[in-house]
Amino acid sequence: MISKTKVLELIDERFAELGNGLFLVDLTISKTNQINIEIDKHEGGVSVSDCMAVSRNVEHNLDRDEQDFELQVSSAGIDRPLRVLAQYVKNIGRTVEALMNDDTLLEGVLKVATDTEIEIETSRIQKIEGTKKKETIVEQIVLPLDKIKETKIVITF
């Protein structure tokens, strides 16, 4: 089986050479040596040339004569759940949906992200008791990451 450590070294080596803010989101290597690498970028999007550069470095430094493998390098994709801290940090200021472990769905603007929790700002319109007026209630909600099933970016057009 292909060494995950070796593949990680090759990925990190290319990230350092490119120096354009790429980071690893996910790396899986199956028992049949299918290598799937998912990358993202701190600012902006991942280009095809970014994926090709990472792919070439991994492919050219693994010996197919020793072990055959299949390699796929892709960007994280805006419709995929956030999985690493760098993705949360990159998306501060964007509206997210957080599906909690108890299946509660919370939507708000991502304000803070740490390695243990995120903070979102929610707003709702509420009638003021005893009047016909309504006011907007803004709340800051801290969500521990271990209580979140998944967090996705809300895509609006």
User: What residue ranges do the domains of the chain occupy?
Assistant: 4-75, 85-153
Q: What is the pLDDT of residue 16?
A: 97
10 Å CB burial of residue 92 (0-12, 13-18, 19+) is: middle
Q: What is the pLDDT of residue 126?
A: 87
pTM: 0.87
- 85-153 and 4-75 share a CATH fold: no
Fold of 4-75: GMP Synthetase; Chain A, domain 3 (3.30.300)
- Over residues 32-39, the mean pLDDT reads 96
Q: What is the pLDDT of residue 142?
A: 97
- Residue 9, CA distances (Å) to 14, 48, 53, 85 in order: 9, 21, 14, 20
Fold of 85-153: SH3 type barrels. (2.30.30)
Q: What is the pLDDT of residue 52?
A: 97
Over residues 100-136, the pLDDT tens digits come to 999 999 999 999 999 999 999 999 888 888 778 888 8
